[in-house]
Amino acid sequence: IVGFSTSSLGILSEAAHSAMDLGAALLTYVAVRISDKPPDEDHAYGHGKVENISAFMQTGILILTCFFIIKSAVERLWFDRITVEVTTWSFAVMIVSIIVDYSRTRALLRVARTYRSQALEADALHFSTDIWSSLVVIFGLIAAYFGWHEGDSLAAIGVAIFVLFVTGRLFKETIAALTDQYPKDIAEKIKKLLMSVDGVQSFRHLRVRQSGSKVFVDMYIMIKRTVAFERAHEVTEEVENKIAEIVKNADVIIHMEPQETDDESIIDKIRMIVIQEGLACHNVRAQNIGGKYIVDFHLECDPYPKFADAHAVSSRIEKKLIQKIPQIRNVKTHIEDARDKVLTAKDITAQSQSVIKHVNEIAAEEKGVVSCSDLIVLQFGEHKKLLLNCIIDPNLSLDEVHAIMTSFENHIYQHLPEITHVVIHPEIVEQD
């Protein structure tokens, strides 16, 4: 009303801008409501792009409005000169507009930054440009008051150019989000973060995309292949948590890949190659002879019906070791049945008192053995297994204890041929 009564294009442009703000606010409300919906079968990444579309529409409307204002101002300057009537109401309206726009801008920006909402940021942009454009309009009114009526049209052009400049930034960001453009600022932060996490050797295929307020991050990280799976999982969780600290509302997917590292020993390399074949090994020994290695180890194979099948597996692994590790000159494998098994057994300890008595007698004669305890005799099929604790002097070295255990086992096998398996757990003498 004030714009029409005073014929001020500056005030009319502000009125048009405010009308657009009302429409934009309604559009933002609808967009935020829709984008807040959780992902569904048809929208696996959620509905966040609705916010980006809303921001795109708002910036588009602003740009069109600015060009219309510029066109009208140019017409007034060159073709249709109109005298602006400056009144107290014209200044009052603009001052009240500035106060209202300032309060709305602060509130919207606070929420937009908290929730990374482009739609709310676009709304805040509308109101923030209103403040500056209102100041320019006031300048035009002052110029018209002193007789320079072209000042009003120039003020309108100034408002339009300013709004175009500010809107252009958001328009560019909106297009970037809609086309999944790589947000370099976020990506650079993530890259620095990744190399600061203990356990991450390197990374590749880092991808970042924004959908509304949500940021989707996915990548491959390389972790030492000798690291236990549980530790590798802890590393990925640490990466996810640190990304969440610097990128609010992030959805992170990490794919782990094992990586060979320079600090691996030759034993590590051998174990990894055997594991890649789906098998296990133990007692791995590598003898260094002039920079070349002769390797031997126990290879745990599945219970193949024929020895030829197990031998073929062993030969394949031996060839692969020599191909993958040039320092290896020769490989010898001791093939045996896989150790890890679940067997159905029967406890026959109560019926094996003569065996237990005989074992205690052997222990009494064994040098280094103090006594035995917790003897258990199991039977599975035609086989019998003996398990026991053996009390040993705690001052002995591990090699000495192993030699004593080996000697004790051999004597048990020698005197009790019905025992096919012996497991001895060494215990220390209780010190007073």
Domain of 217, in residue numbers: 184-259
The residue from 259, 292, 325 where one domain ends is 259
Query: Torsion angle, CA of 331/336/341/347, rounded to 10 degrees?
Result: -140
Residues 128, 7 within the same domain: yes
Higher pLDDT, 37 or 6: 37
Q: Is residue 48 domain-shared with residue 66, that is, in the same domain?
A: yes
Name every residue whose Cβ is closer than 8 Å to that of residue 87 and which is 6 or more positions away in sequence: 2, 5, 6
122 pLDDT higher than 80 = no
Mean pLDDT computed over every residue of the chain: 81
pLDDT the model gives residue 14 = 57
57-61, 178-182, 278-282: least confidently modelled range: 178-182
Judgement on whether residues 165 and 32 belong to the same structural domain of the protein? yes
Question: Do 13 and 111 fall within a single domain?
Answer: yes
Q: What CATH number corresponds to the domain at position 249?
A: 3.30.70.1350
CA distance 12 to 2: 8
User: What pLDDT, on the 0 to 100 scale, is given for residue 310?
Assistant: 87
Number of domains into which the chain is organized: 4
Per-residue model confidence (pLDDT) at position 250: 84
96/38 same-domain check: yes
Looking at the whole model, is its pTM more than 0.75? no
Question: For residue 130, how many C-alpha atoms fall within 13 Å in the half-sphere facing its CB?
Answer: 30
Mean pLDDT is lowest, of 19-28, 39-48, 136-145, 207-216, for 19-28
Question: Each residue of 12-54: pLDDT tens digit?
Answer: 655 665 666 666 667 666 766 777 677 777 776 777 777 778 7
Residue 67: per-residue pLDDT: 83
Question: Would you say residue 297 has pLDDT above 80?
Answer: yes
Confidence band for 344, pLDDT divided at 50, 70 and 90: confident
The 10s digit of each residue's pLDDT in 170-181 is 788 778 777 777
Same domain, 152 and 190: no
Give the containing element (helix H, strand E) for 334: strand 328-337
Final residue belonging to a domain, choices 302, 337, 372: 337
Q: Average of pLDDT values for 294-304?
A: 88
In this structure, the answer to whether residues 30 and 115 fall within a common structural domain is yes
pLDDT at 74: 80
Are both 172 and 48 inside the same structural domain? yes
Domain finish residue from 178, 205, 231: 178
Are 152 and 298 part of one and the same domain?
Answer: no
Band the pLDDT of 353: cuts 50, 70, 90: very high
- How confident is the model over 82-105, as a mean pLDDT? 70
Residues 36 and 102 in one domain: yes
10 Å Cβ neighbour count for 234?
A: 13
Same domain? 301 vs 252: no
Same structural domain for residues 147 and 13? yes
Mean pLDDT of 79-94: 64
Residue 2: is its pLDDT beyond 50? no
